[in-house]
Structure 1
Amino acid sequence: MSDPGEAEIVAWFTARSERAVETACARIFLAGDAAFKLKRHVDLGYVDFSTPERRRWALDRELAFNRAAAPDIYRAVRRITRTAAGGLELDGAGATVEFVLEMRRFDDGAVLAARPEAIDGEMAEALGRAIAGFHAHAPLRPEGGWSALAFTVGSNAQLLRELAAQLGAERVEALVGLTAAALERQKPLLQARAAMGFSRHCHGDLHLGNILVEAGRPVLFDCIEFNDLLSDLDVQYDLAFLLMDLDFRGRRDAAVRVLSAYLDEAGRSFPAALWEGLAALPLMLSVRAGVRAHVSAHSGDPVLARAYVEAGIAHLSPPPPVLVAVGGLSGTGKSSFARAVAPGLGASPGAVVLRTDEIRKRLLNVPPGERLPDSAYAPQFYRRSYDTLLANAGALLKAGRAVVLDATFIDPELRARVEQLARACGVPFHGVWLDAPVPVLEARVAARTGDASDATLETLHDQIARHTSRVDWAVIDATGPVEDSAAAWSRTKAPH
């Protein structure tokens, strides 16, 4: 610490705090119910906090930007002033020597990075929908998108090459070359998305360390404020940090649930090109892994940094897409089965799950958990729901994304249509029909709560009466736990 003024302020806060947390750009001092964030006096190239003016500017922006997602955490920018006796105090009458951001203190253990294993299906679902809502209300930044991603690709290349001795020059060059080529390939798509409204003022640093859970809901905090090239982004690139982080930690199940929920929620607000944008996701995941690689190396963990380099390379060689359709009567566990098999299909973090139950409510702009009127199940709207299901699936498959369709598929014509979609897209198809005894189905439907499905016992009995045609998909006994039915399918699946 070369700045005597900085040393004095750090010592003053340290003496009045219970604990301090240090990052590359800041120090956070915890005292009582408050947390005081002090910017370091550094110039790291991508961020410049070397002058009081730059630090005050950054703190003001941090307060304003974070209030969008975490209004009750970010309190005020406070002045550190000189006392008449020569000491320091907050907001005194003396001369200002520094500025600090006051926040409400929260439980460190509530931050998801501290417990990624605690992200269950409901929390992953809530995360995806919360982030989609945040993006839908974010200010447009049409000048961002591709240019912001290109900036980070270039920055990654420079920083990783400087660390080549630690990370392995050959692997660094492989990642740099693959990323540059992918960026050039995706340039037209990313520029088009910026023009259509997908480039917005985003969080910018949306990994598990910047998401906490309070009162059962996810709260996004600590967004990037110091460089617009790191925050005026394609919304999918913003989401990609969380997806990459979950995948890297072995939580593809949570990551693909986040992605599927995000797409369903974002489909209410963003243009139809939302689905085609998944073609750029492997690049975005790779760039995020590259960021973590040089950050980890600079933090003194070359082993972790090398693992991120390998992850970045792997993201740019994704497996080909596949289409899976999961049919069956209400209560057979189609949604649970779809979510169980999705992480193992296609490119990271797995196959997008599309549900007619959610699509029906998306088309009517009704929350997933809200019950629809009977008119929403009339034949005309029924067809519209399946038309949308297949249209979304087709766009995702053409973008290189594996898809799992979750619907009853009682109508043989609909089963034929989904098989034809796979042929038209040139991808392997797997049809799965889940089966279980009627008493089991009745018990499950009667006990169901908090799900997008509106099926009742009357609905189930109507399905039983209508299900008269032979199904030539793989028939799986769904009487037991979903893990058993998913394992049974994985042993027998074959292209249809």
Structure 2
Amino acid sequence: MNNDKKTRDDLPSQEELLKFLLTKHSYPHKPKHIRFVQTHASYVFIVPPFVYKIKKPVNFGFLDFSTLEKRRFFCQQEIQLNRLLCPDAYLGVIPIFKNPSGFLTFDGSGSAIEYAVQMRMLPHRYFFKRLLLRNCVQLADMERIVSKLCQFYKETEGGADIASWGTIEKIKKNTDENFEQTQSVINITVSQTAFESIRYFTNRFYELYPDLFEERVQQGWIKNCHGDLHLEHIHLQPKNICIFDRIEFNERFRFIDVASDIAFLAMDLDYNGRQDLSCFFSDRMGQELKDLGLKKLLDFYKSYRAYVRGKVEGMTAQDPLVDPVKKKEHIEKAKKYFRLSLQYAAIGSKPILLVVMGKIATGKSYLAQSLAEELDWKVFSSDRIRKEMLGLDIYTRPEESIREKLYSEEITSKTYERLIHNGLTELSTNKGVVLDATFGRKEQRALLLEAVHSKGYSVLFIEVQADLPTRKKRLVERSVYRSISDARLEDLPLIDSLYEEPMELPQDHLLKISSTEPLMLLLSRLFHLLCDLHLQRLMHE
């Protein structure tokens, strides 16, 4: 009887299968304990000294394990494909049977009712992510990974058939699929603003740089790659590197640009707070492969890869067999990956300081806070710093005599010095930071530029504007709700007279945006402008 034609009654339920695989006596070697892990597509049972991996009977469109025959085929594919980069770990495909009494067993005959990939368990302490969390990864380790991957890319197949998968039409199928499959999780794991902005950046990249993709095809950079190259799939022993879990379920995710594979690992290093290793890794890969076009594609593919991880974490969270605690963890991971994808699209990979500036009551603080939330960055406010320096309650407008001291030249200078210091300190450990302040004087902007450039960082000023009636209305409204800012309608003429337009700033360091429309539209427009600016910079770096 063909396995693919078995009736539903012949196959075990997922609950029955899990119960069998979670029982120690089910395994021939009788393990002392079982650790169970699951992804969106697989159940994994760690039963020392082995690991058994079962494919879920799911069909996500891009992945189809819906029939027994397909699961058997892809188990075999997994073994074959992964032996190139991890030859010692993949042992074989193990059938599971149902005996005449109706019990599941690994020892049987006849037709199998399920299949498992059997792997040799790798020593836990050498998994790359674990080493990274213990701060045990050195540049020499990254060099070993670079060497292993470069050898793999030189040996793995290319050719005309595989190269055809590098066209925009084929790549766009993947990105379009991602956006289609995440429509239902907008405002759950990915914000509306992030979704629209990432999609805008992706499609504009195709429109602006079609020749870049054609060059990659012609130069032979489309190969039979790994396809799922992130931290959890690297095992780094002192004398051996095992890179496992190569994609077996869909060739279009494996027949890709080498840059896409490299970007995946670089992105995951960023995600785990190691931008230093990410930069080192991508630079060394470009040098060793002599790939001059790699840098121009990294942000595009990093954004794509982070989006895929966000999608996958969200799919895992939706599985009804995932317990509530794990479900919440997967949702939070998905959110973080989607925010990272947005960062790559709107800002890029290099550390940057975003300065949200402008006259009073233009809505800059509201926009700065929303911008920081979308990017998952910290925001530092001059209004907050000014009051905290004097030990004042930030939401209480002090009496006039205290305000005179609070807004004196001395306190204002100290406020901006601390604001800039806080921003640069945060930037040394993160990809970006938002500063919220008027920055209405040329000398304040010059102080910031000097400090930022001395550290080798980038800076972008976003000047928020609004018409006078709107600003007056907002200042009147401040008297009825809590506001950190102490400026009121009667202060407007004097404060405006002291504001020096940022004429000295280079055009590529300054964006101007009106804040008179609703916040969601304003945010969307701002991120589109940021994406456009980023797209312009990409080809000139």
Specify if TM > 0.5. Answer: yes
The reply to whether residue 33 of structure 1 matches residue 49 of structure 2 is: yes
| Aligned equivalent of 2:342, options 304, 309, 313 | 313
Q: How does 1:3-402 map to 2 (within 5 A)?
A: 4-16=12-24, 18-90=34-106, 92-116=108-132, 117-140=135-158, 141-146=162-167, 147-166=169-188, 167-267=190-290, 274-298=291-315, 299=317, 300=327, 301-318=330-347
Q: In 2, are the aligned partners of 1:133 and 1:265 still within 8 Å (CA)?
A: no
Once the two structures are TM-superposed, the CA of residue 310 in structure 1 deviates from its matched residue by 2.8
Change (3 A) 1:306 1:320: closer
Once the two structures are TM-superposed, the CA of residue 207 in structure 1 deviates from its matched residue by 0.5
Q: Distance in 1 between matches of 2:137 and 2:148?
A: 14
SS at match of 1:115: helix
Percent of aligned pairs with the same amino acid: 25
Once the two structures are TM-superposed, the CA of residue 89 in structure 1 deviates from its matched residue by 2.8
Once the two structures are TM-superposed, the CA of residue 42 in structure 1 deviates from its matched residue by 1.2
Once the two structures are TM-superposed, the CA of residue 36 in structure 1 deviates from its matched residue by 1.1
Q: In 1, are the aligned partners of 2:226 and 2:254 still within 8 Å (CA)?
A: yes
Q: Distance in 1 between matches of 2:331 and 2:106?
A: 40
Aligned residues: 322
Deviations, residues 308-366 of structure 1 (Å, cap 9, x unaligned): 33322221345799xxxxxxxxxxxxxxxxxxxxxx99xx89xxxxxxxxxxxxxxxxx
Once the two structures are TM-superposed, the CA of residue 54 in structure 1 deviates from its matched residue by 1.0
Change (3 A) 1:320 1:154: closer
Deviations, residues 172-195 of structure 1 (Å, cap 9, x unaligned): 111111111113333321232123
Once the two structures are TM-superposed, the CA of residue 259 in structure 1 deviates from its matched residue by 1.6
Once the two structures are TM-superposed, the CA of residue 62 in structure 1 deviates from its matched residue by 0.5
Letter in 2 for 1:11: K
Letter in 2 for 1:310: R
Which deviates the most, 293-302 or 70-79? Answer: 293-302
SS at match of 1:93: coil
Q: Distance in 1 between matches of 2:250 and 2:278?
A: 27
SS at match of 1:165: coil
Q: Distance in 2 between matches of 1:316 and 1:170?
A: 12
SS at match of 1:46: coil
SS at match of 1:143: helix
Letter in 1 for 2:52: F
SS at match of 2:63: coil
Letter in 1 for 2:312: V
SS at match of 2:263: helix
Once the two structures are TM-superposed, the CA of residue 20 in structure 1 deviates from its matched residue by 1.8
Q: In 2, are the aligned partners of 1:200 and 1:235 still within 8 Å (CA)?
A: yes
SS at match of 1:38: strand
- Tell me, which stretches of 5 or more residues in structure 2 are unaligned? 1-8, 25-30, 318-326, 351-426, 433-457, 459-507, 509-541
Once the two structures are TM-superposed, the CA of residue 46 in structure 1 deviates from its matched residue by 1.9
Q: In 2, are the aligned partners of 1:21 and 1:29 still within 8 Å (CA)?
A: yes
Once the two structures are TM-superposed, the CA of residue 210 in structure 1 deviates from its matched residue by 0.8
SS at match of 2:58: coil
Q: In 1, are the aligned partners of 2:197 and 2:345 still within 8 Å (CA)?
A: no
Match of 1:406 in 2: none
SS at match of 1:142: helix
Change (3 A) 1:184 1:59: farther
- Tell me, which stretches of 5 or more residues in structure 1 are unaligned? 268-273, 322-343, 350-401, 403-426, 428-496
SS at match of 2:79: helix
Letter in 1 for 2:154: A
Once the two structures are TM-superposed, the CA of residue 198 in structure 1 deviates from its matched residue by 0.8
Q: In 2, are the aligned partners of 1:292 and 1:308 still within 8 Å (CA)?
A: yes
Once the two structures are TM-superposed, the CA of residue 239 in structure 1 deviates from its matched residue by 1.0
Once the two structures are TM-superposed, the CA of residue 283 in structure 1 deviates from its matched residue by 0.4
Q: Distance in 1 between matches of 2:233 and 2:170?
A: 21
Q: In 2, are the aligned partners of 1:153 and 1:287 still within 8 Å (CA)?
A: yes
Once the two structures are TM-superposed, the CA of residue 91 in structure 1 deviates from its matched residue by 5.4
Letter in 2 for 1:115: L
Q: In 1, are the aligned partners of 2:299 and 2:348 still within 8 Å (CA)?
A: no
Letter in 1 for 2:172: A
Match of 1:471 in 2: none
Change (3 A) 1:174 1:102: same
Letter in 1 for 2:20: W
Once the two structures are TM-superposed, the CA of residue 281 in structure 1 deviates from its matched residue by 1.4
Q: For the pair shown, which has the larger CA radius of gyration, 1 or 2?
A: 2
